């Protein structure tokens, strides 16, 4: 099984003093790209959200000294590396080197807000208002899209004008349509002029790449546009076969894209547009060197769209290095959705599984995501749940690409009620109808926590998140 394609180029481990951020082996304080990104961030009011542990330490007057490292979940490995920037603590009985986020009950217990108490965003456009191809408009309407989400409403007009865009938004806010709709229209317009425009979409995980291609098929139906998904864990041969037909959209993970380029099966000199989706996640997974390698092979005069849930120091450096005069679109209003009811379950480590099984047998837990720490632990948990009569499957980095897709499809179709997962499922996946998220094991950072529970309470529906703590 080829599981290294998406995760093998991680670069040197970052260490150093608190005021220093290592970017490509350099001190970003003297890096012009970082300074440009920092100016952009400051000019547009961006700041890096604090983790719960940092807030807790500051409010208690604790020391901020000592070595720090950027958050790095690395879900494709057996467990995340220590995250000392968030005051993480060693996990009991966890994988080697794994450290949990510090518990702050004020962040883990939160009642969902009634819909009438939430300020409703008033869109300035309808999808019918956008100056896009009429056939594309028909496909958008066929998918039931009437009013854009905030990120779509504010991004699409700028992308249609060919401007570089930095979009900062929470997961589940409609970022995929925010770039697919205007870029499909762009390719169509170029073709009318007799020009061949191609689009590269770079994402951190296989599942997100496949999900984006599925969305592409819906928007591009009947338009004569082709796409290919290039991800590790799947056979490279069919991907090469489709690439030879020069599809308009290439969607892939950095590791596999780099492999294809080194094989000379992917030539990026013909691509004029690139999308970096979930850029902060790609940094967390160690893809920075691959990202720089890939973008260096594209034309310097290109159209670049950049989407991230956070604005870290390295993200600021990437903005300065990869984008030119970007437009800032920030619609991140709060760290967790107002539709999610959050609570904790106090349970001793030795009784966690029994408590989990007890909860999952309750009728209200119709469709539940359970997050565990390690690949082996997740696999064993799913097996043990099946043994007590609960329909469960698992998804983690040790599974083959086809096995992961099979488990996801079964969960989406309600063939299984419970999907047990590592943090590989914490971002980007749009699974409708998830009623509950259970943090069986604590994540390493509060940011990872927000992404985990963001799998529920989506598209205007309510959800519940429970976190097991001793």
**401 domain-assigned:** yes
What is the average per-residue pLDDT within 237-254?
96
Residue 31: pLDDT band (50, 70, 90) is low
- Res. 63: pLDDT tops 60: no
Shared-domain flag, residues 154 and 189: yes
CB 422 within 8 A of CB 373: yes
Residue 356: pLDDT band (50, 70, 90) is very high
Shared-domain flag, residues 151 and 279: yes
Highest mean pLDDT among 35-49, 238-252, 362-376: 238-252
Q: How far apart are the first and last CA of the chain?
A: 37
Q: Among 38-42, 94-98, 244-248, 379-383, where is mean pLDDT lowest?
A: 94-98
Specify the pLDDT at position 173: 78
CB 440 within 8 A of CB 356: yes
Specify the pLDDT at position 91: 46
Specify the pLDDT at position 113: 53
| Total number of domains constituting the chain | 2
Residue 36: pLDDT band (50, 70, 90) is low
Residues 6+ apart with CB under 8 A from 169: 150, 151, 175, 307, 309, 329, 330, 331, 332
Specify the pLDDT at position 423: 83
**406 domain-assigned:** yes
Percent over 70 (pLDDT), the chain: 72
Tokens found for residue 464: 């519940």
What is the average per-residue pLDDT within 51-63?
40
Shared-domain flag, residues 229 and 153: yes
Shared-domain flag, residues 169 and 284: yes
- Res. 355: pLDDT tops 90: yes
Specify the pLDDT at position 237: 96
Nearest-5° Cα angle at 418, 412 to 424: 75
Specify the pLDDT at position 315: 83
**301 domain-assigned:** yes
Residues 125-163: tens digit of each pLDDT? 999 999 999 999 999 999 999 999 999 999 999 999 999
**448 domain-assigned:** yes
What is the average per-residue pLDDT within 450-457?
82
- Res. 1: pLDDT tops 80: no
Specify the pLDDT at position 101: 66
- Res. 177: pLDDT tops 60: yes
Q: Whole-number mean pLDDT of the chain?
A: 79
Please tell me the distance from the alpha carbon of residue 143 to that of residue 135, in angstroms, as a whole number: 13
**Greater pLDDT, 451 or 66:** 451
Residue 73: pLDDT band (50, 70, 90) is very low
Residue 88: pLDDT band (50, 70, 90) is very low
Q: Tell me the H-state helices in 228-338.
A: 236-243, 254-262, 279-284, 288-296, 313-322
- Res. 204: pLDDT tops 70: yes
- Res. 294: pLDDT tops 80: yes
Specify the pLDDT at position 334: 52
> 76-95 burial, b if ≥16 CB within 10 A, otherwise e?
bbbbbbbbbbbbbeebeebb
CATH number, domain of 277, equals: 3.40.50.300
Shared-domain flag, residues 302 and 431: no
Shared-domain flag, residues 447 and 376: yes
Whole-structure pTM value: 0.64
Shared-domain flag, residues 323 and 378: no
**424 domain-assigned:** yes
Specify the pLDDT at position 48: 47
Please tell me the distance from the alpha carbon of residue 287 to that of residue 15, in angstroms, as a whole number: 17
What is the average per-residue pLDDT within 262-275?
95
**Greater pLDDT, 75 or 242:** 242
What is the average per-residue pLDDT within 385-400?
91
**Greater pLDDT, 121 or 312:** 312
What is the average per-residue pLDDT within 462-470?
90
Question: Domain ends where: 284, 302, 330?
Answer: 330
Q: Among 22-31, 52-61, 400-409, 428-437, where is mean pLDDT lowest?
A: 52-61
Shared-domain flag, residues 171 and 258: yes
Question: Domain ends where: 286, 307, 330?
Answer: 330
Structure letter (DSSP) for residue 172: T
Calculate the alpha carbon distances from 286 to 2, 12, 54, 80 in Å.
Answer: 18, 9, 23, 12
Specify the pLDDT at position 404: 86
**C-alpha torsion 456→460→461→466, nearest 10:** 40
Residue 57: pLDDT band (50, 70, 90) is very low
Can you give the residue range of the structural domain that contains 136?
127-330
- Res. 312: pLDDT tops 80: no
Specify the pLDDT at position 394: 93
Neighbours of 334 (CB within 10 A): 10
Specify the pLDDT at position 460: 66
Shared-domain flag, residues 141 and 266: yes
Tokens found for residue 416: 């299984």
Shared-domain flag, residues 284 and 159: yes
Shared-domain flag, residues 282 and 395: no
CB 206 within 8 A of CB 401: yes
**421 domain-assigned:** yes
**80 domain-assigned:** no
Residues 357-382: tens digit of each pLDDT? 999 999 999 999 999 989 999 999 99
**93 domain-assigned:** no
Shared-domain flag, residues 361 and 276: no
Specify the pLDDT at position 87: 38
Question: Domain ends where: 284, 314, 330?
Answer: 330
Among residues 131, 126, 57, 45, which one has the least CA distance to residue 89?
57
């Amino acid at each position: 099984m080829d599981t290294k394609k998406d995760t093998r180029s991680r670069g040197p481990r970052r260490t150093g003093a608190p005021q220093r951020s290592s970017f490509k082996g350099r001190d970003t304080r003297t890096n012009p790209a970082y300074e440009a990104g920092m100016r952009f961030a400051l000019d547009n009011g961006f700041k890096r959200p604090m983790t719960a542990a940092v807030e807790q330490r500051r409010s208690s007057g604790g020391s901020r000294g000592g070595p720090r490292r950027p958050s790095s979940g690395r879900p494709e490995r057996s467990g995340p590396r220590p995250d000392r920037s968030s005051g993480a603590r060693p996990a009991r009985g966890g994988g080697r080197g794994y450290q949990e986020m510090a518990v702050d009950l004020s962040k883990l217990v939160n009642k969902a807000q009634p819909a009438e108490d939430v300020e409703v965003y008033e869109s300035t456009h309808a999808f019918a208002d956008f100056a896009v191809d009429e056939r594309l408009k028909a496909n958008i309407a066929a998918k039931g899209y009437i009013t854009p989400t905030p990120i779509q409403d504010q991004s699409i007009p700028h992308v249609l004008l060919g401007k570089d865009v930095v979009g900062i938004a929470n997961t589940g806010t409609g970022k995929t349509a925010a770039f697919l709709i205007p870029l499909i229209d762009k390719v169509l317009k170029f073709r009318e002029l007799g020009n061949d425009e191609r689009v590269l979409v770079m994402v951190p995980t296989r599942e997100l790449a496949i999900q984006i291609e599925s969305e592409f098929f819906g928007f591009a139906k009947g338009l004569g546009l082709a796409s290919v998904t290039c991800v590790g864990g799947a056979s490279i041969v069919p991907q090469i076969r489709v690439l030879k037909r020069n599809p308009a959209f290439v969607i892939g993970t950095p590791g596999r894209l780099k492999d294809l380029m080194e094989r000379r099966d992917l030539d990026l000199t013909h691509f004029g547009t690139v999308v970096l989706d979930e850029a902060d996640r790609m940094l967390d997974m160690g893809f920075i060197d691959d990202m720089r390698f890939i973008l260096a092979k594209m034309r310097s005069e290109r159209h670049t769209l950049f989407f991230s849930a956070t604005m870290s120091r390295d993200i600021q450096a990437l903005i300065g290095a990869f984008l030119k005069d970007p437009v800032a679109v920030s619609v991140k209003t709060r760290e967790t959705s107002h539709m999610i009811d959050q609570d904790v379950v106090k349970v001793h480590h030795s009784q966690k599984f029994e408590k989990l099984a007890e909860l999952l047998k309750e009728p209200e837990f119709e469709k539940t995501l359970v997050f565990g720490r390690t690949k082996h632990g997740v696999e064993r948990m799913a097996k043990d749940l099946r043994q007590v009569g609960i329909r469960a499957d698992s998804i983690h980095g040790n599974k083959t690409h086809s096995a992961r897709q099979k488990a996801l499809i079964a969960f989406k179709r309600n063939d299984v009620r419970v999907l047990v997962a590592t943090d590989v499922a914490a971002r980007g996946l749009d699974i409708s109808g998830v009623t509950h998220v259970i943090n069986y094991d604590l994540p390493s950072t509060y940011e990872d926590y927000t992404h985990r529970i963001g799998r529920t309470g989506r598209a205007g529906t309510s959800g519940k998140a429970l976190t097991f703590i001793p």
